[in-house]
Amino acid sequence: MWKKIINKLMKNGSKFKSEKIYLKSLKIFHRKSYKNPDELLKLAVMNVSPAADIRKRLRNRRRKRYDEAPCILTPKARISYAVTSIVNSLTTIKKKDCVSDLVNEILDSAKAASLLVTKKELTQESAFKKKKFARFRWF
């Protein structure tokens, strides 16, 4: 799980910096909570990952109209969706530094108190509202 976060944190191929962020975040995890960081990350990913998502498909080439159809995500896609949303939230927050923001975001989403959890619920609600269009999914 941490390897996925390291790869998502990586920008311009600088894996050394993302590994450094990972190691510093482990130290902060041990200071803030006495729980296992791997289990906290799994819990955070479970709380953030949605079961269904909406995909767009082109309905008319000339007028560029789109149809939105709900689709159920595979477990692998759910994990990658959750990890990318956690890493993307770091760029929008930017309170102190990347390490402490990463730790706080994982701890908040493990407690289900993060904004990402509400975002997950909104995407699932919108996917289940468009449930009648599920048969139009051929992508």
Token pair of 103 as six digits:
């730790």
Domain limits at 41?
23-136
Q: Structural domain tally of the chain?
A: 1
**Tokens 């102190």 -> residue:** 96
| Position 100 in a domain | yes
pLDDT above 90 as % of the chain: 30
Dihedral over alpha carbons 31, 27, 1, 122 (to 10 degrees): 50
The pLDDT value given to residue 139: 41
pLDDT of 137 higher than 70: no
Would 7 be classed as within a structural domain? Answer: no
Helix (H) or strand (E) holding 70: strand 65-72
User: For residue 43, what is the domain's CATH number?
Assistant: 1.10.455.10
Residue 55 lies in a domain: yes
Structural domain includes residue 3 = no
- Residue 136: pLDDT band with limits 50, 70, 90: low
Instruction: Kindly state whether residue 87 falls inside one of the protein's structural domains.
Output: yes
Q: What is the pTM of this model?
A: 0.82
pLDDT tens, residue by residue, 91-122: 877 777 888 888 999 999 999 998 999 999 99
pLDDT-based confidence at residue 12 (cuts at 50, 70, 90): confident
CA distance 111 to 18: 25
pLDDT in tens, 60-82: 777 778 888 888 899 999 999 99
User: Which residue type, as a one-letter code, is found at position 99?
Assistant: V
Residue 87 token pair:
């890493």
Q: Is residue 15 a part of any domain in this protein?
A: no
Q: How far apart are alpha carbons 55 and 57 in whole angstroms?
A: 7
Find all residues with CB under 8 Å of 98, minimum gap 6, and list them: 9, 21, 90
**pLDDT at residue 49 is higher than 90:** yes
Banded model confidence at residue 34, pLDDT cuts 50, 70, 90: confident
In angstroms, the CA 44 to CA 49 distance is 9
17 within a domain of the structure (yes/no): no
3-state secondary structure of 42: helix
In a domain, 9, yes or no: no
Q: Give the type of residue at 38.
A: D
